[in-house]
Structure 1
Amino acid sequence: MAFKYKPSLVRLTLILSSFVLDVICFTPLPRFAQNSAHIGNRIYYMGGFVSLPEPIISDFFYLDISTFTSTDSGNLPWTELTGLDNLFTSWGTAVAGGANKDLFVLFGGQMTPSETSSIVIVYDTKSNTWSKPEISTVNETNLFFLNDMAILDTVNWAWSYGTQDGAPEARNDFSATILSNGYIVYIGGSNLNNRYVPMTQLNMYDTNSAAWINIEATGDTPNPRGGHSAVLTTDGRIIIYGGSFLISADGRYTAASPDLAVLETSNNNYVWSKPKASGISPPTIAYHAAYLVGDNMIISFGNITDKGPTSNLYALGTKDKNNYKWLTSLDIEASVPPGTISPVNNTSSNTGALVGAIIGSLIGLLLLGGGLFWFYRFNKNRKMMEGVIETPGESTDVGFSRRHETMNSTTTSQSSYDYSRNSTNTKVEEGDHSKEFPPSNLSIQYNLDIDDDDDDKEFRVLPEELQPEYLEKKYN
C-alpha cells in the first residue's frame, strides 16, 4: 500500500516556533562556586566553575522568580545578560547593594584577568550598566584565609574595618547569616590545616556594637562541613543545606551528613535539630546558591559529591517547621508576603538578547512565510490535477504538457503527440508532419464546471483504446 505525504500547516508552525524559541531561550551550563545575589524578583548569577577545558566562565544571567513555578530544568525562566569585558570570576561574594538594594555588587574571589584597579565591580539592574566605583583600597592579599572584618558601604562607597578583638581564627567555606537583631552568625568551614570548625561553635559579629560574640549551640548537632548554604526564615530559623567534608589528604571529599539541619535562634537560644523532609530529596551538593523566597528555600547549581557540577534547581518548603517538604511545583506569589517581591525596572533591554530575539524572529517569519507559500502552491497544484486521468508517458518542458503515446500493434512503430493544457493552438513537429493541437483524431472532454468564456479550458484526452470509435470496431 502506498502512502502520500500530506504537509501539515500545524506541524510546520510547531517546527518554526521551536526554532525561534531555541534562538531566543538561554540555558546556563552546570557550575559551582558561582557568584550570586537576590535582587527584587530576580536571582542574578555570574561566573563559576564548569567542566570545560577553561573551567572559569564569565556569563551573567538571572532567574525570574515571579514566573518560577516548577523545578523542571526545561521550564526555568532564565535570561542571559551582558557580562563585563569577558571577566572570568568565581568564589567571590555578591550582594544586593545601593540605597534601593538594586545593585549587583561583586567583591573579591578569583578573577581572570586579575583585577588590579578595583576588587569591587557593580552592575546596575535599572540601567543595565557595569561600573567600577572608586573606593579607598582595602587591604589586598593573595591569602585564602583571613580573619579581618572588612565593611563596605555600598551607598557612599567607602571601606571600614571592624575589630579583631575576640575574632575567630581564619577560615573559609563557612556560611554567614545576619539576624534581625544585627548579629552575623558564622557557621562551619575549615581552617588552614583543613580542620573543620565544630557546628556547636557559633561565632557572631554584633554590627551594632562592633564586637565579637562566641556562643556554643546545643541540641542535635550536625556533622562539620564546608561549602554549605544557609537561609534565615521570618521566625528566626537558620536552615542549612548540603556541604562536603574532606576525608583524605589526596583531596577526596564526602557529602556532609545530614544534608539538612536547622538552627533555632529565637529568644537567644541556639539549638540544632535534624528534620526529615518529605518528598524526593535532591543529591547532596556543595558550593551552591540558596535563597529564601517567601516560604521556600530555592537551591541552585553546585557540585554534586563525586559526580560534578549541576545546573538543577530545588525547592524546599519551610513554612511548617514540623513538616519540611521538597517541592517540584510551587506558587511563589502565594508564598510571598505583600511587598516582599518588588519589581526591578529595566529601562533599557539587554542588547545581545534583543538582537538575538529580533534575528531569530525574522528568520522564523521568513521560514514561516516560505512554508505557507509552498503549502499553498502544493494544494493548488493538487486541486488542478484532481479528476485528470493518468496516461502512460513522460513530462516535457512545455508547461504542464504530456506526451501521449500510442503503439501500432502491426508495425510496432510509435507515433507521439505533444500537447499543453495552457495552450490551444500549439504546433508540434514530428518527422515531416505538423499537426494542430490538439490532434484531430483524439476525443476531448471539456470540464463542464469551467466557464466557456475562460480561455484556459481544461480538457481530458482519452487514449485510443477508450475512444468510442475504437471500442465500437473492437466489440461489434
Structure 2
Amino acid sequence: MAFSLVRLTLSITLILSSFVFDVICFTPPPRFAQTSALIGNKIYYMGGVVPLPDPIISDFFYLDTSAIKSTDSSTLPWTNLTGLDNLFASWGTAVTGGANKNLFVLYGGRMTPAEEGSLVIVYDTNNNTWNKPTISGGEPARRRKTQAVIDNGGKMYIFGGSTSLGPGPGNTPVNDMSILDTVNWVWSTGTLENAPDARIDFSATILSNGLIVYIGGSTLNDRYVPMSQINTYDTTSDTWASKDATGQIPNPRGGHSAVLTSDGHGIIIYGGAVSISADGQYTAASPDIAVLDTTNNNFVWSQPKASGTAPPQIAYHTASLVGNNNMVIAFGNITNKGPSPNIYVLDIKDNNYKWITSMDNSTSSSNVGVIVGAIIGSIGVLILLGGGLFWFYRRRKTKEGVIETPGEFTDAGFARRYDTMNSATTSQASYDFSRNLASPSIESEPSKEKEFHPSYSHNFPVQHDPEIEDDDKEFRILPQELQPEYLEKKFGSNNGDDI
C-alpha cells in the first residue's frame, strides 16, 4: 500500500512537472501557412510549413496574450498542446466557433492521409479534446489557401480557395460560398449571383454589420486582384456586391493578413507578396501597412507610417486583434529567405501605428508566473501528502508487531494502560528468566503464587483506569517476546507446559 501511494504521488508530480516544463520551455519552430484562432486571451496555432525534409508539422499550441511581456520568442508564454491528438495541417483556415465561442474549428487545408477524410476537425478548449463532428447537409469539396470568418451567431463563411496546392489541372480556384453552422453543425451554401471570380490567398474580414470584405489575392495563373477592387458579401441578405476603393491604393498582393481597427470601421492589412518570376521568387508587397476605411460603406485607402523597428517583410502569416489595441502577427515566410520563428506586435491605439517589443499586461488577471507558482506549490503539497501517508502506514505496521492476549477491552485509556502494563510485564519476565538461567542447580519451593507461564494472563499486573466503568472487563496485553511460540523457540520447552 505504501509503495502504491508513493508511486501515485510521484506519477502526479511527474505529470505536473512535464506541464510546467512545456509552459516554461516550449518554443515553436519557424513556420508559415499555419492556421490560428483567438479564443479568449489565447491565440491557438495549428501546424504550418517548415523547411524540408519535413515540410508539414503536426504541433498544436497557444500563446497567452494576457501574459506577454516581451516579443522575444524565447520568453513568450507558449503552452504546447501537441500529443493530445497529433494532426498534420497547413494551408487551412480556422475560426472561433460554438455556442460558447470555445471551439477551435479547423477546416480544409492539407492534412495527413489519415485525416484527409475529415473536412472539419474541432478542438474543445474547455475539456482539451479533439473531435470530428457529425455534420448534416451537403458537404463541400476540400479546399486550401482560403480565409474563413464567423459571425456572432456561430456561422462560419468559407469563400473561394483552391482544390489543390500545386500547379496543373488539379489546381482549380473556386468561387462558391460554403456556410457551416458551428452551433447546430449544418452545412448550407450562399448565393453565386454576382459572386467575384475564383481566387486564393485573399483576406476576409467581417464588420459589425455582418458585411464580409474580401481584399486582394490572386486568380488562376497568378493574376493578382487590384486592391481598388473590393468585393463584399452581406451575411444578412445573402447578396454579393463590388465596390471601387479610392485614396492611396496599395500594390496588389496575396498571403497578407487583415484585422479590424480599434473603432471597428476600418481594416488594417499587413504584409503579403506577389510572384512575378518563373523560378518561384516572390517580391514583397508595398507598402507593408495599409488601412481601408469602410465608414458609411465608402471604401477609402490610406498608407500610415508606423514608428519603431519594422519586422522583415513576410507573407502567409497570421494576425489577430488583441484587446482592440494590438495587432499580433505570428510567423510567416520572410520573402525569399524562409520561415520566421517570431511574433511581431503593431500598436494601433488611436490610429497611431507603432511597432513594439513589449506589452503592458500588469492589470491582467492571468499571469504565467502565478500559474507556474501555483503548479509548483501543488507539487510540493503532493510530495508532503505522500510522505505523510507513507509515515502513517509505517507507524501502523510497527504497532501491528504487538500481539494482544484474548480478552475484552475498551478504547478509553488504551494508550496509557498499554505503556504501563508493557513496561511492568517486561521487567518481571526479564528478572525471572535471568535468575533461572544464572542458578540452574538451585531448586526453589514450588509456589502457586510464583508459578509463571506466559499463557497465564493472571501472572501480569492489571492496570485500572478511573475512566473505565466498574463493570468493564480487565485489560491485559502480552508483548510478542513473551508469547509461547517465541519462548519455546528461544529457550526450549518442558513438556510444552513450563519454561
Tell me if TM exceeds 0.5. yes
Q: CA deviation at 1:114?
A: 5.0
User: Does structure 2 conserve the Cα–Cα contact (< 8 Å) formed by 1:73 and 1:312?
Assistant: yes
- What's 2:36 paired with? 36
Deviations 1:169-197 (A, max 9, x none): 10000000000111000000001121000
Provide the rounded CA distance (Å) in 2 between the counterparts of 1:270 and 1:333: 37
The one of 225, 228, 233 equivalent to 1:197 is: 225
Alignment of 1:10-409 (within 5 A): 25-83=25-83, 85-113=85-113, 115-136=115-136, 137-140=138-141, 142-143=163-164, 144-235=172-263, 236-294=265-323, 295-321=325-351, 323-332=352-361
- What is the distance in 2 between the residues matched to 1:173 and 1:84? 30
* 1:61-107 Cα shifts (integer Å, max 9, x gaps): 00001101211122100000035643211000111000011000000
Report deviation, 1:319. Answer: 1.1
CA distance in 1, matches of 2:305, 2:24: 40
Q: Check the 8 A contact 1:41/1:342 in 2, yes or no.
A: no
Amino acid corresponding to residue 63 of structure 2 in structure 1? L
> Deviation of residue 342 (structure 1)?
9.9
- Considering only aligned residues, what root-mean-square deviation do their CA atoms show, in Å? 2.6
* Cα distance in 2 between the residues matched to 1:51 and 1:227: 18
Q: Per-residue CA shift, 1:320-375, capped at 9, x if unaligned?
A: 22x311111122476xxxxxx998xxxxx9xxxx9xx98xx99xxxxxxxxxxxxx
1:49 counterpart SS class = coil
List per-residue Cα deviations over 1:267-303 (Å, max 9, x = no partner). 2121001111011011110000101112011111000
Indicate how the Cα distance of structure 1 residues 333 and 292 shifts in structure 2: closer, same or farther if over 3 A, else same.
farther
Aligned equivalents of 1:38, 1:23: Cα separation in 2: 18
| 1:255 and 1:284 in contact (8 A); partners too | yes
Q: Hey, what's the Cα distance between the residues in 1 that align with 2:51 and 2:250?
A: 31
CA displacement at 1:113 relative to structure 2: 1.6
Q: Deviations over 1:240-271 (max 9, x none)?
A: 00000111122111100001111111121210
Distance 1:222 1:85 in 2: 42
Change (3 A) 1:66 1:155: same
Q: Gapped runs of 5+ residues in structure 2?
A: 1-16, 143-162, 165-171, 384-499
> Using a 3 Å threshold, how does the CA distance of structure 1 residues 43 and 167 change in structure 2: closer, same or farther?
same
Task: Please report how far the alpha carbon of residue 52 of structure 1 lies from its aligned counterpart in structure 2 after TM superposition.
Answer: 3.4
Q: Cα 1:342–1:329, aligned 2, differ >3 Å: closer, same or farther? A: closer
What's the CA shift string for 1:95-152, capped at 9, x where partnerless? 1000011000000001112535420000000000110001135122535511000000
Aligned-partner Cα distance in 2 for 1:220–1:71: 31
Mapped to 2, the partners of 1:245 and 1:201 lie a distance apart of 17
Flag the structure with higher strand content.
1
SS in 2 for 1:267: helix
The letter for the 1-side match of 2:141 is E
2:38 counterpart SS class:
strand
Alpha-carbon distance in structure 1 between the residues aligned to 2:135 and 2:224: 34
> Number of aligned pairs?
326
Change (3 A) 1:84 1:202: farther
Alpha-carbon separation, structure 1, partners of 2:361 and 2:113:
39
Give the TM-score taking structure 1 as reference length: 0.65
State the SS of the aligned residue for 1:320. helix
Distance between the aligned counterparts of 1:308 and 1:139, measured in 2? 33
The separation in 2 between residues aligned to 1:82 and 1:106, in whole angstroms, is 15
Partner SS, residue 222 of structure 2: coil
| Alpha-carbon distance change, 240 to 22 in structure 1, aligned in 2, over 3 angstroms | closer
Give the Cα–Cα distance (whole angstroms) in 2 for the partners of residues 77 and 220 of structure 1.
Answer: 38
- Supply the distance in 1 between the matched residues of 2:348 and 2:57 (Cα, whole angstroms): 33
| Cα deviations by residue, 1:182-228 (Å, 9 ceiling, x for unpaired) | 10000000011210000000000000000001101000000000000
CA-to-aligned-CA distance 1:432-475 (integer Å, 9 cap, x gap): xxxxxxxxxxxxxxxxxxxxxxxxxxxxxxxxxxxxxxxxxxxx
Q: Output the amino acid matched with 1:35.
A: T
Distance 1:306 1:224 in 2: 18
- Contact kept in structure 2, 1:263 and 1:272, CA below 8 Å: yes
Q: Is the 8 A contact 1:70 1:328 kept in 2?
A: yes
Measured after TM superposition, the shift of residue 233 of structure 1 is 1.8
1:398-429 CA distances to partner (integer Å, 9 max, x unpaired)? xxxxxxxxxxxxxxxxxxxxxxxxxxxxxxxx
Q: Which amino acid aligns with 2:295?
A: S
Cα separation, 2, equivalents of 1:279 and 1:82: 35
TM-score by length of 2: 0.62
- Higher mean Cα deviation, 90-99 or 246-255? 246-255
Residue 106 of structure 2 contacts residue 120 of structure 2 at CA under 8 Å; is this kept in 1?
Answer: yes
Question: Is the alpha carbon distance of 1:240 and 1:165 closer, same or farther for their aligned partners in structure 2, counting shifts above 3 Å?
Answer: same
Sort the Cα spacing of 1:308 and 1:210 in 2 relative to 1 into closer, same or farther, 3 A. same
* Contact map agreement 1:31 1:310 (CA 8 A) in 2: yes
Contact conserved, 1:40 with 1:342, CA < 8 A, in 2? Answer: no
